[in-house]
Amino acid sequence: KAGVTQTPRYLIKTRGQQVTLSCSPISGHRSVSWYQQTPGQGLQFLFEYFSETQRNKGNFPGRFSGRQFSNSRSEMNVSTLELGDSALYLCASSSGLAGGQSSYNEQFFGPGTRLTVL
Amino acid sequence: GQQVMQIPQYQHVQEGEDFTTYCNSSTTLSNIQWYKQRPGGHPVFLIQLVKSGEVKKQKRLTFQFGEAKKNSSLHITATQTTDVGTYFCAGPMDSNYQLIWGAGTKLIIKP
């Protein structure tokens, strides 16, 4: 089974520009979550999409947005880039379906897109 | 709000020494997951604990879930260079499917 793929792997942009990142989940997975990771920081949750609907959202400004297509592929967009947006952006896929009240499906991460804003 | 605290932030050990990281949740968790991120890599799922008091082992790694399901630990016996990385715990929020992540513990092997 192919893993989670993210494109591009590296990106350099300048302040004020916008960027779109792409994530293709594992076949059959309907949930895609996006995270921002900066050096020395943990995983900051951006949002989660399930069956083309945003199901959860973290505490990021509206410049960060996303969408999910009918084939479960997801895109994340950041507009008006700031220097502080430089980070590793990770997406994770899962089935998104809790197997009862006491379990939660593991997340499979992609290799990430490293965004540098100059 | 619901939080998962993870300590320590870093742990420096000599190769062969043991390593432990702890997670504490502000609320009862239905389950807890552990992930490992190697330097330059992405998080990889290690294990999920579901039952109160559960203990699971993977070779030199021992995972525990507290009786109250509010804390968990990962213990590595006799660390090796392949264990280097950051270990994260994560648990689901009460109200939705979102995972709340600990800040991670970075395991560093002293030269």
pLDDT bracket for residue A64 (50, 70, 90) = very high
Interface probe for A, chosen from B42, B48, B72, B108 (most Cβ of A below 10 Å), is B42
Residue B86 has which token pair?
A: 């950051």
User: Between A42, A48, A106, which is nearest B103 by CB?
Assistant: A42
Averaged pLDDT, B35-53: 95
Q: What is the pLDDT of residue A102?
A: 47
Q: Report CA dihedral (B102, B59, B57, B44) to the nearest 10 degrees.
A: 30
A31:B97 CB<8 A: yes
Q: What is the pLDDT of residue B78?
A: 98
Q: What is the pLDDT of residue A13?
A: 97
pLDDT bracket for residue A99 (50, 70, 90) = low
Q: What is the mean pLDDT of chain B?
A: 93
> Environment class of residue A96 by beta-carbon count within 10 Å: exposed (0-12), middle (13-18) or buried (19+)?
buried
Averaged pLDDT, A87-100: 82
Asked whether residue B39 carries a pLDDT value surpassing 50, the answer given is yes
Asked whether residue A112 carries a pLDDT value surpassing 90, the answer given is yes
Q: Which amino acid, A110?
A: G
A106:B45 CB<8 A: yes
Chain A residue numbers touching B30 (CB-CB < 8 A): 101-104
CA separation, residue A75 to residues A21, A91, A93, B43, B103 (Å) = 5, 10, 13, 20, 25
pLDDT bracket for residue A103 (50, 70, 90) = low
User: What is the rounded CA–CA span in Å between residue B61 and residue B49?
Assistant: 13
DSSP for B7-41 reads: E-SEEEEETTS-EEEEEEESS--S-EEEEEE-TTS
Q: Is-contact B59 B5, C-beta < 8 A? A: no
Asked whether residue A29 carries a pLDDT value surpassing 60, the answer given is yes
Chain B residue numbers touching A103 (CB-CB < 8 A): 30-31, 48, 50
DSSP for chain A reads: ----EEE-SEEEE-TT--EEEEEE--TT--EEEEEEE-TT--EEEEEEEETTEEEEE-S--TTEEEEE-TTS-EEEEE-S--GGG-EEEEEEEE----SSTT--PPPEE---EEEEE-
Alpha carbon of A43: minimum distance to chain B alpha carbons (Å): 7
Q: What is the pLDDT of residue A100?
A: 47
For B46, the enclosing helix (H) or strand (E) is: strand B44-49
Peptide bond between residue B111 and the one before it cis (omega within 30 degrees of 0): no
A43:B96 CB<8 A: no
pLDDT bracket for residue B111 (50, 70, 90) = confident
Q: What is the pLDDT of residue A18?
A: 98
User: Between B31, B43, B101, which is nearest A104 by CB?
Assistant: B31
Dihedral sign for Cα A63, B104, A48, A115, please.
positive
Q: What is the mean pLDDT of chain A?
A: 91
Digit-coded pLDDT (tens) for B60-100: 999 999 999 999 999 999 999 999 999 999 998 766 667 88
